[in-house]
Amino acid sequence: MQTEDRNPGSVADAVRGNWVDRFAPDWAKPYLRLARLDRPIGFQLLFWPCAYSVGLAAVARPNTAFNWLSILLFLIGAIAMRGAGCTFNDIVDRDIDDKVARTRLRPIPSGQVSTKQAIAFLVLQALVGLAVLVQFNTFTIWLGVASLALVAIYPFMKRVTYWPQFFLGLAFSYGALMGWASEFGALFQPPILLYLGCICWVIGYDTIYALQDVEDDALIGVKSTARLFGENTRAMVAVFYAAGFALWVWAGLSASAGTAFLVAMVLPAAILIWQVATLDPKDGDNCLKRFKANHYTGLAFTLALWLAWKF
């Protein structure tokens, strides 16, 4: 995609005419881009496991209300912590990002934001996340604090293993535990199954995302499952999607979801199948569109859990 007709400073994989480019004041644009708020798919994918987990908890005790307040809090927390995670990742990866075509226009490598300014912004976003976290019970608070270790190690994994997507899955799927914990103050089999399913889902969709950078990653020595799987990438994405979907269904059934849930799960299954069937690993635009389609996977799965609770 050409950059000369785009908003100055806009990064390569942001949607043309996004709200940050169009409406944000100039002084705020680099920070909003640093938090990836010009690309909402990130916080959406972080949020959906939280929504799954709240929905799963509602299914497990259907005589209680569906906790929309918790879902709102998790959405705010996902926006803040996704931004904090991206800011931390860009601080760590500032030298690597400068060597990759898709990332060299990010605020830090392009010089729009200094490292010190990025650190201050990171702290601000983390404080917003903390303000959300303390609204929940003590068990959930400590569970959330424990997740910070996964967030901290993830940016370094691409340097030491071909499975950074697995570590991203551990961190990005954590909401699958948090929503249930916020309702029950403990963890049982359903959220554990949900968490494992989300890890498989993340490995699948982030492998698709990583296909955009395979050539640059190979040149600079960055590892990924996209590089590891090579010509077998589509088949391996299918394996992880199938495993994740099976674990999701198992989680729902273990929480006493019934026929309405099973029927509704046809929709997220169809979206995952479409991604694999139409994936072109050598076409970056194709990969990005299939990756972003996982927002609708998340919406469809959450709807299935709501229907399981409702009926």
Give the tens place of pLDDT for each residue, 14-57: 677 788 988 899 999 999 999 999 899 999 999 999 999 999 99
Residue 42 lies in a domain: yes
In eight-state DSSP terms, residue 7 is: P
pLDDT bin (cut points 50, 70, 90) of residue 6 is very low
At 84-104, the pLDDT tens digits run: 999 998 998 887 877 777 778
Residue 88 lies in a domain: yes
Stretch 264-289: mean pLDDT:
97
The rounded mean pLDDT for the chain is 92
Residue 235 lies in a domain: yes
| Rounded distance between C-alpha atoms, residue 156 and residue 148, angstroms | 14
Q: Say if CB 252 and CB 59 are below 8 A apart.
A: yes
CA dihedral of residues 165, 300, 249, 308 (deg, nearest 10): 150
Q: How far is CA 66 from CA 35, 79, 149, in A?
A: 30, 22, 31
CB atoms within 10 A of CB 99: 15
Range of the domain at 97: 19-310
Residue 57 lies in a domain: yes
Which among 62, 117, 66 is positioned nearest to 87, based on CA atoms? 117
CATH code of the domain in which 296 resides: 1.10.357.140
Residue 9 lies in a domain: no
Does 202 or 90 have the greater pLDDT score? 202
Residue 156 lies in a domain: yes
Answer yes or no: is pLDDT of 2 > 60: no
Residue 171 lies in a domain: yes
Would the pTM of this model clear 0.95, i.e. be above it? Answer: no
Total count of domains within the chain: 1
At 249-268, the pLDDT tens digits run: 999 999 999 999 999 999 99
Residue 5 lies in a domain: no
